[in-house]
Amino acid sequence: MCGIVGYIGYRNALPVLMDGLKRLEYRGYDSAGVAYINGNGIEIKKTKGRIEDLSRILPLPAPDAKIGVGHTRWATHGAPSDRNAHPHACGGVVVVHNGIIENYRELRSRLASEGHQFASDTDTEVIPRLISSYMKGGLPLEDSIKKAVSDLRGSYALGIIGQDCPGNLYAVRNGSPLIIGVGQDEYFFASDIPAFLQFTKKFIFLEDGQMCVMSGRQARLEQLGPAVPSKTKLPDAGTEKTEPAGSPRVVEVDWTPEMAEKEGYDYFMLKEIYEQPRTVRETMREWIENPAAMLDSLGLTSKTVLGLRRLHIAACGTSYHAALVAKYIIEALAHLPVDVEIASEFRHREQLIEKNNLFISITQSGETADTLAAQREASKKGAFTLTICNVVGSTASREADSVLYTRAGPEIGVASTKAFTAQLAALCLISIVLGMKRGRLIAAEAETLTSQLKKMPSLIEKALACDKQTMDIASKIKGSRSMLYLGRGINYPIALEGALKLKEISYIHAEGYPAGEMKHGPIALIDSGMPVVVVAPVNNLFEKTLSNIEEVKARGGRVIVITDEPPGLRAMADEVIEVPSAHPALSPFLNVIPLQLLAFWSGVLNGNDVDKPRNLAKSVTVE
């Protein structure tokens, strides 16, 4: 979390940095700061609050600086405050940092014994102090950075400038995302691609343990510590540029700056909800006409697929809910047992993964610390690792044996929406292919499913018609303290996802439950003040779900139902939201749409910043 940016080149650095920070604000937004070098030396401006607050304290007109760094913070060590805001500095060395320095206490006492007096409560401040302490000992800046980095334990992406070397910008990566943007006579660094898409589409994806030294005209990579062999595959994401031998590998990405803009919507979240017909279509585009070709491209041989006894999936949050949906589909279509686990649990227990098992990680950002750790664990145990990931060049995509990219484009809203349905699309394709390859899904059934899947973008379009109705319902549930979301079978994970979306955006407490489990506890909560959302598509569990609705009504509960069979339900439920009918395995795509919109409008009506809900950040790079 936290976003860092840096610039060196011919432009005025400050507006470039501020623009980059604005685009990374989704990563953290409790304080912000910039540092730049101009004729007066290094200047630092920082404040508690958002980028907007930072812009208020910047000098006007922007000073003539051609080099600088910036930071937007999600607090880990030390409360959000002016003093804890980055950049941190010591003796003409300035550092911005994303990540956590695990041994900062030890380093702090070492530096304190040398006479350093700390100006913040952060772990980061040890870094500029270490560098300047090595410089005092006679080392030049670059060597001091290397020495300081060798003292650090933990995860970090660092941006560094120094008074002594105003012509150099330094970026170091170890465990936290960091990319270098390559322009004509200018370089950028950032935690994520959208920061500088308006200036360049060419990027160098740093590996762990690498430092990039940028001057205006060139970038040089240095390996600090042991090289981490990368299985880097950035193939279908962009075109690799041929560079002279020894030069860093430059990849051109196919995202456009507009993809990271609001394009007329008031909120990224709403824009991203509406993008889903397109992003689901894009994700399937390459494979939908010939799903069987997918396995080869993923490096999965027929022998591996036929030999599979179990499949493991790990993910966090919304991506975990996509994994739960996949369990239902894969087990039904491919008769393959699927273990789904929250990544932070998976990684910390003994895993019964056998060699040649297939492990899938699902991650929008490709940088979620727990998901990466789970993937590494599985890899250590000899599993073949496949990641379903949205960000080209992300750590998950580089470390996995194989990548299936979702084509959702940059997801900026902190609450995940379009990434979820893109993940469902990718997982449906994999399920069909596994089913076919393992001889469990006959060609005709596979054909029916793929043709239904092809219709999904236009069905999602139709589902979006409930927008206005969800806004009305949101106004009715405003003021509720708690809500229950119920679903059965493949729509139970959709109930979980609806509840997660509502709580993170509206701050109304919500719980998702399997509808059949309600009578074992949560039914005690039901009264007229407790809205209950029920996902009730017509399928083999429909009648049972109707009974659950009756049980809620009998206790005075208010029922909001999502269904493709509204006439039958109007007499029972207080609110009926209609979605189009779909193949039972594909109904989650449509049922989640009203739940995303209901959460969105509840957040807006409660006056919340839905794109940046409190306490949250996108891309959770801490454990």
Residues at the contact surface with ligand F6R, assessed by CB under 6 A: 316-319, 363-365, 368, 371, 415-416, 500, 504, 619-620
Q: Which is nearer to ligand F6R, 122 or 364 (CB)?
A: 364
Return the percent helix, strand and coil in the chain, to nearest 5: 40, 20, 40
φ, ψ for residue 172, nearest 5 deg: -130, 135
CB 112 within 8 A of CB 118: yes
The nearest distance, CB 205 to ligand F6R, in angstroms, is: 17
The nearest distance, CB 608 to ligand F6R, in angstroms, is: 14
Q: Which is nearer to ligand F6R, 122 or 591 (CB)?
A: 591
618 is catalytic: yes
Q: Which is nearer to ligand F6R, 283 or 368 (CB)?
A: 368
Residue nearest to ligand F6R (CB): 317
The nearest distance, CB 294 to ligand F6R, in angstroms, is: 21
The nearest distance, CB 360 to ligand F6R, in angstroms, is: 13
Catalytic residue among 2, 90, 212, 466: 2
CB 544 within 8 A of CB 517: no
Catalytic residue among 327, 418, 612, 618: 618
CB 594 within 8 A of CB 2: no
Rounded-to-integer distance, Cα 27 and Cα 191, Å: 9
Q: Which is nearer to ligand F6R, 279 or 363 (CB)?
A: 363
CB 132 within 8 A of CB 162: no
CB 587 within 8 A of CB 4: no
Q: Is 428 helix (H, G, I), strand (E, B) or coil?
A: helix
The nearest distance, CB 51 to ligand F6R, in angstroms, is: 21
Strand pairing partners for 89?
94
The nearest distance, CB 319 to ligand F6R, in angstroms, is: 4
Q: Which is nearer to ligand F6R, 446 or 616 (CB)?
A: 616
Sign for the pseudo-dihedral over CA of 130, 136, 141, 142 = negative
Sheet containing 575-578: order of strands: 509-514, 482-487, 531-535, 558-563, 575-578
φ, ψ for residue 540, nearest 5 deg: -65, -10
Three-state SS across 546-572? HHHHHHHHHCCCEEEEEECCHHHHHCC
The nearest distance, CB 126 to ligand F6R, in angstroms, is: 28
Rounded-to-integer distance, Cα 362 and Cα 1, Å: 18
Q: Which is nearer to ligand F6R, 390 or 491 (CB)?
A: 390
Sign for the pseudo-dihedral over CA of 53, 57, 59, 64 = negative
Rg of the chain on CA atoms, in Å: 25
Rounded-to-integer distance, Cα 571 and Cα 551, Å: 14
User: Known catalytic residues?
Assistant: 2, 618
